Amino acid sequence: MLAPDRNRDRTNVGTAAQACPERSRRGCPAEQSSAASPPNIQRRAFLAMSAATIAGLVFWQWRKPAVLGAAPAVDSEPKEVTVVLFSDAGQRLKQVRIAKIVKTVAEWRKQLSAGVFDITRNADTEIAFSGKYWNLHDSGIYRCICCDNALFDSATKFESGTGWPSFWAPIAAENVTEIRDTTFGMVRTAVACTECDAHLGHVFDDGPEPTLLRYCMNSASLRFVART
């Protein structure tokens, strides 16, 4: 997630070519032009298309490791972590030491939708203004979509204008983990769930008082629970 991250919107726009009218007695102009093209022109077109294909593959191979670099490393051995438990009403219960949730890729794919998997497990970013929580103003808490760990309280949510739900503090410092992220040629701080390592978003130093921080989160990484 950039600051603000509007450069990763992925919109495919295309226009289908119109068919040549059957009633034309001279044939389709495009077909005539193609048939009349000298061999050297056709060869140059083929080479240009091949170069574009190779460039696209190279870009994807560069981009994919960069995106994955923002995700926390998965430990092969289970370990314990410290988190603070909260009721759905937002009441702080107690600090506990629990086993970190570790699952295989296949297990996460079975539990999560494709889009949520890409964001939480591969550190992808949802398109700005596309998430269901960026404009939500209800009172409640936000839990991790992967493990239900309490992450943020609506009391710290503010309107950042970025198109992503933004908070000036987590519900408990123990419940989130900050990771140095050097992808895309810049230094940022990624934020992950302490309990299961789900990628949540990034934190920036342009937020409001009292922390001056902006935790810019993906809606797809969160599950909102309204206060009753």
User: How far is residue 190's CA from residue 168's CA, in Å, rounded to a whole number?
Assistant: 15
Sheet containing 140-144: which strands, arranged edge to edge? Answer: 150-153, 140-144, 222-226
CB 167 within 8 A of CB 156: yes
Q: What count of other Cβ atoms lies within 10 Å of the Cβ of residue 136? A: 16
**Cα 87 to the chain's mean position, in Å?**
27
Catalytic residue set: 216
User: How far is residue 78's CA from residue 99's CA, in Å, rounded to a whole number?
Assistant: 7
CB 190 within 8 A of CB 123: yes
